[in-house]
Amino acid sequence: MIAGRSADPEFLANIREIANQYHPELYADIIRAYHFGPNFLVELEMVLPETYQLRESHDIGMGLQHKIEDLDRVERAFVHIDYQERPYDEHDENSWPNEYYEKVRGSPRQKSAKCRPSVEGEKKLESSGAGSGLFDTLARRL
């Protein structure tokens, strides 16, 4: 059984196309998909304008989640809606700018922690199979 390996670039491109066509103001920032047995777990980081209300954003995200889960090879999809693209990986605290770290953690970063520069548009990770999302974390624990 295969678990944790990234999907091929064609599969990711298909998911991105479906996601980008789902709603006129919604667009895909980062798409990840990982083998989960014969199927895939799909993680989508989507962007909507910040003027959308929480209820609207939620409903759009849920609709997209179900559309992706209707695909034959998708076991489960996780859709995260944000109001902006991020030049850092939200799953990796070491890539966060200090201001974001303080906002999220409520205190300054410890001196020993190093903030590494973000990878240009983590989208490169889609084709490389590398990443630090939820499924990478799960795969490392297997």
DSSP annotation of 8 = P
Check whether 36 has a pLDDT greater than 50. Answer: yes
CA distance 139 to 35: 10
In this structure, what are the phi and psi dihedrals at residue 132, rounded to the nearest 5 degrees? -135, 30
**Distance between alpha carbon 98 and the CA centroid of its chain, in Å?**
21
Predicted TM-score of the model (pTM): 0.72
Sheet containing 3-6: order of strands: 3-6, 27-36, 39-47, 74-82
Instruction: Summarize the confidence of residues 37-50 as an average pLDDT.
Output: 96
Check whether 48 has a pLDDT greater than 80. Answer: yes
Domain boundaries, the chain: 3-141
3-141: CATH topology? Alpha-Beta Plaits (3.30.70)
Q: Tell me the pLDDT tens digit for each residue of 60-105.
A: 999 999 999 999 999 999 999 999 998 888 888 999 999 999 999 9
CA distance 133 to 31: 10
CA distance 95 to 100: 10
